[in-house]
Homo-oligomer: A and B are copies of this chain.
Amino acid sequence: MTYTPINLTQKLTTFSDHWSPKIIAQMNDYHFKLVKLQGDFVWHRHVDTDEVFLVLQGSMQIDFRDGSVALRAGEMFIVPKGIEHKPWAEKECHVLLVEPAGTVNTGDAGGDLTADNASWV
C-alpha cells in the first residue's frame, strides 16, 4: 500500500488561531505540534521537560530572564527544562514544536492563553 506523509504546509492551512498548538504526529510518547504565533505569549516554564521550537515560516523571539534568542525559518532552539521563557513574534510565525504528549502550552503559568493539549489536525 501507499502510505501518506504528513505535509506541514497542508496541515498549517487547517487552522488560523494563534498560540494554540495542534498535534500532527506522535513518536513514542512525544507529540509533534504546529503552532501559529503572533504577539506576546506569557512567561512560563515546563518543569518536567525540554521544549523544541523549529521555525517553519517567519521569525520569532524567545525571551529568557537572562537574555533571548531570535529564530528565523530553518532555525531551532531547545528551551531547557525549568527555564522561564516568553515566546513572541511581531508578525505571524509558524513553528513546529516537539514535546512530551500532554505538555501544556502555558506550563506552570496557566491563564487565558492555555490551550487544549490534545487537539489534532
Which residues in A have some Cβ–Cβ distance to B below 8 Å? 1-9, 25-28, 30, 32, 49-52, 64, 66-72, 74-78, 81, 98-100
Are B32 and A52 in contact, with the CB atoms below 8 A? Answer: yes
Task: Check A50/B28 contact, CB under 8 A, given A5-B76, A76-B5, A76-B8.
Answer: yes
Are A75 and B27 in contact, with the CB atoms below 8 A? Answer: no
- Complex: chain B residue closest to A3, CB-CB: B69
- Copies of this chain, tallied across the complex: 2
* Closest-CB distance, A83 to chain B (whole angstroms): 11
Are A68 and B2 in contact, with the CB atoms below 8 A? Answer: yes
Are A76 and B30 in contact, with the CB atoms below 8 A? Answer: no
Are B78 and A25 in contact, with the CB atoms below 8 A? Answer: yes
Alpha-carbon distance between A1 and B70 when the two chains are bound, in angstroms: 12
**Residue with the greatest number of chain B CB neighbours at <10 A, chosen from A51, A77, A78:** A78
* Closest-CB distance, A48 to chain B (whole angstroms): 9
Closest 9 CB pairs of A and B: A3-B69, A1-B67, A5-B75, A27-B50, A6-B76, A5-B71, A5-B77, A7-B75, A27-B52
